Structures are given as structure tokens and as C-alpha cells.
Structure 1
Amino acid sequence: MTETKKYVRIKKAKFLRSWYSVYIGRMYIVIGENESEYITHVGDVLKEDAELFVTEKRPAKVGERVLITVAAPIGEQSYETGDVFVAESLYDPFTKDIQVLGMPDFIDYNEYEVIVNSEVKNEEAGEMKIDLNGMGDHELYAHGEAVMEAIKKRMFQAGFRAAKQAQRKLAKMNTEKSSQARRDEIVEQAKADVERLKENNIRLRTFNISLEVNRKDRSVEAIAKRPKSNRAFYGIAKAAPDDCFNVHIGKAIAIRRALGLAVPDEYLNDPQPTEVRVGDVVEFQSVYKAAERALVVSDDESTGEGKIALGSAYADIAKIIDDSREEVGE
């Protein structure tokens, strides 16, 4: 027999002194109950303040309601622990993942449990048995008010879920913008750093600095040679396989290593670019190749072999592998 579990979601707090008064909307596991309270793993909750869910851990069937018990990975999906959905289809019979109504993401089997009984479900079932024609005027009006209240509650819950989804998307967009903005700052810092170090060594006649860029190897080598001497010092910077190569950051790292200077942490752990721009070199999957590389050009430029337009569908799905953009004067 399938094991059942019980959860409560805090709807309100009758008393402000209740421990859960600041945790409205949170969900907790029920480990026991008495006549008036649910006993959770963190404290007791008045039954009138909570919504009860009884669940089974099994694959959901189409039309069944599911409770998100462990939303993972945190922050990457458009739903969270405590959300309730209706199973629309079995996404994958082998993994037992499902798709739900109103949600583009698929739900992993490890993230949900099937609701087999809940206060909300019981109320809905009770409403289906009501005979409106058999009601008196007073009873019908009272029932109408209850229905309107239920509709307002349902609309509020739907709006709240939509607002949470929009908030998560906005937060993700802001994070991506912040990452791109920070990378832009680091690139400008690296450019200024390279020019300053080269000028200082020329002015002080300490080293003659030369740089060699290997695009194929995604590396930069700096050679610091003493004037009127054969003695030279070398520094190399090479992009990791999964990192985006930027020649300006590479030059700054290589020169600092050749001169024996500390390399700032932001050069070594710079955020990856999130915005495709003209002049970037990108990698994408096309109908011809599994991994094709191309230079991104403006929409009004001609495209051909090795080039894609900024506004093309390929640019939307491409991975940026080189954002040096030296050809466009950056």
C-alpha cells in the first residue's frame, strides 16, 4: 500500500503571538494532530489557520492534483515548494516526470507528490452536490456570496502564482543584466590595465612588452624583455574549455604574470556574457552541423558562410565563445 504523508500550508494566524504569524504561505510536514491543532516538525498550528494536504508518493495520473514538495534546482524553475498544479500529461513514463496545466516547465518526479485528499478538494467536491433549485431565496443568496468569495480567492491564488512567476523571471533577467554589466566593466578595466602597464614599462625603460594572441588555442602570451638584454619573462593566459574567451582580459592576465604581478580575482573569475552582440563569435547547432561557429553581424549586413545576423534565430540559441569584438573597435 502506498504510504501517505500530510502537509499543512499556513493560511493565516489567528493570534499575532503565534510562531507562524510571520510564515504565512509556508508549508510544513505534519507529524501528528489533536482536536484543534496540527503538530508539525517545527511547532503546533491551529487547524483553522492552515490548509491540509494528504499526499501519496507515486506517479500522477492526468487530472490529478499534485503538490510541489521539493522544488529543485532552487531558483531555476518557475514554481516553488508549496505550489499546487493539475497534471496535464505524463511527460516521460520512464522518469515519471509530468507536465501540468498553465506551466511550460516539466515537473520532475522527485519534486512532487499526488494529492489524494485536501480541504480544498473536499470543498470543491461538496459544491458539486449542491442543488441550487432546491434552495430558498435566503439560502441561495448566502450560497451565492460564498461562491463569489471562493471565486475571488481562486483568482487571487492564480494571480499570486502568476506574480511569483513574473517576479522570478524578472529576477533572472536582472541577474543576467548584472552579469553582463559586470563583465563589461571588467573588460574595460583590463583594457586600461594593459595600456597602463605597457606605458609604465616604456616610460621607466624596465621591459619591452609584446603580446601574441592564439585564437585557435584561445590563449594570450606576454613576453617582457629587458632592454639591451636577452633576458625575458613570459606569462600565459588560456581560457577554460567552457569559458568565453576575451582577448583583453587574457592580455591583462598574461602581462601581469610575465611581470610577476598579482592577477585580480575578477580577471580569473569573470562572469560569462549573457547578451549576444555584433562582433561576438558564437557556437550553435544548425541543421548542417552539431557545433557550428560564426561571427555575429548587424541585421543590415550581408551574411554568408561563417556569419549570422544579430536578429536571427541562431543568435538567440547561440553560446558566446569569444566576445573580444576587436573587429568592431571594442
Structure 2
Amino acid sequence: MAETKKYARIKKAPYEAAWYADKIGKVFEVELVGPTYLIRTGPNHLSAIRKEDAEIIVTEKRRPKVGERVLIMYGMTSSGDYKTGDICTVRSVVDIYGTITVREHRNYVIAREYEVIVNNEVKNEEADGMKIDLNAMGDRELYAYGEAVMEAIKKRMFQAGFRAAKQAQRKLAGMNSKKTPQARRDEIVEQAKADVERLRENNIRLRTFNISLEVNRKDRSVEAIAKRPKSNRAFYGIAKAAPNDCFNVHIGKAIALRRALGLAVPDEYLNAPQPTKVRVGDVVRHRTLNYINVVDDVESGVMRYTNGEYDFIYAVEGGRINIIDDSREEVGGE
């Protein structure tokens, strides 16, 4: 009796990250059947295919009969009429060596190119009924199966985590898109304050670095210095506001400190929305007259400066007056 083999033909993939997502229609020999179909992808490695993503084809290596179907294992023709993985129906058996003709094309197919299919298609529900006997496995086979199962679990956990992260990211992006630019900037400033405080406390507790922050308001920049205790070795980080950006000392401190410590700088720090609402303590500049004032009071429609002059809030909203510093800290403070 001829030996049978099982092959899994890929019908679909559950997601783009699946290892067989680009192998639709490909055929792989099944080495083990358990909760999934396991195929060998390396000398000591098995890869899993979900049962619902494949059809099982059972074959025998023998001379076929007219009307039987064959699975092309090695498409050797250069014409491209048939290729590995094709299923063809036998029209005639040409010789004793197993050369055949098929209904799908006019080329001869030699014996080493095909295996005879002995089932049409094992339905998923039938495949699901297949049981695997772990006790019947040899040590090497059992270890390989366990490795494949663990690999499948790791991939499933990674994919589930990736999907959850994407969903959370989309949800957060949706929430942020509903907020005004000013509300989003206020959140980022508070985040930066907490970030600096946390990083400072961590370095004090762990005695990793002595942190100092130097603010240059004229240059609209912040320099962070992270110095190792009992050492002359120090690391520096600088944050400087672009000419057309509003300077905020808290965001600047967070950027500079993260750079000094070699940490990634969150994108929201680097691309914070510009302020749209004037508040007490903001530094503003008149675009045409080029004077700079500090806002001392904000009333309905009017803002008063520390020098006693006043202007109208709509001048800020219309872009005639720009907010150039919304740190709202006393000059020289950290």
C-alpha cells in the first residue's frame, strides 16, 4: 500500500502579520496535526497554520488512474502551463513510468512531478476532529511540537498586544482630535512638568545623576546637565524654541532633560500646538510694532500689560499679536 502524505494549502490569513499572509495558494507538507497544522520551516523549527486558514490534501505516491486528481509537487515546465501547487485531473496515463496528460493543459507531466490525491478536501469540521497523541511521539518530535506551540502562543500574544495598542492609539487620537489646540497644549505642559519631576526624583533616589536645569529666556532655550556623583563626567541636553514657536519653559526642560539622559523625546513635546488663548503671565509681541509686553490682567475682550498699557484680545486671535512665551513663571525661576 502506498504511503500517504498530508499537505496544507493556504486559503487565507487572519492578519497581515501572519507568516503565511503572502503564501496564499501555496502548499506545505503537514508534519503534525494538533490544534493547528504544523509544517517544518527549518531543521529544528515547526510553524503553525490555523486550521480555518487551510485545506488539507491527502496524497499517495503511485501511478494514477484516468479521472483521478493529482497535486503538482514540482512544476518543471518552462511554459508556465502548470506550477507547484496546482491540482490537475488525469486525462490519460501515457506509459508504465507514470507519465500522464491532464485535462487542464496539453503538456506531459512526468511521475516525479506529481502525487495522486486520495481525498477531495477534508472539511474543517473533520479536521478539527483529528486528535494528537502526545504519548505516541518520540522525544525529538515532542520537543519540536512543544516549540511550535510556544512559538504560536508568542505570536498570538504579540499580535493581540499589537491590535490592542493600535486600538488604544486610535481611541486616543480620536479623543485628542476633539480637543482645542489650547486644551491639548495645556495637557502637554502638565505632562512635561510631571515628567521632569519624575525624572529628577528617580535620579535622586537611585543616585544616578545630579540634575541641573539652566533657562535662557533671551535665547528662548533650556540646557539640562546630568552629572554623575563624585565624577567630572556630565551629559548635556539642549532645547531651543524655533523662531516662530511659542517658548514654554516646562516643555523645554522636559526635552532638554530627556536628551541629557539619553531618553527618547515624545513627539507631542516637539510638536505641541501653539497657544490660542492669552492668559495672565503670557509674554506677547506685536507683529508690526514689534513691542514685547507681559500680560498682567485679562478682562472680557481686553488684556492689560504690566506697564499699564492695554490691548484687545481679538488682536491675539487675529494674529496681530503673538504669544511668544506661555511659561507663566517669574523671570529667573526654574
> TM-score over 0.5 for the alignment?
no
More helix by share: 1
Q: TM-score range by the shorter chain?
A: 0.3 to 0.5
What is the TM-score when the length of structure 1 is the normalising length?
A: 0.42
Larger Rg: 2
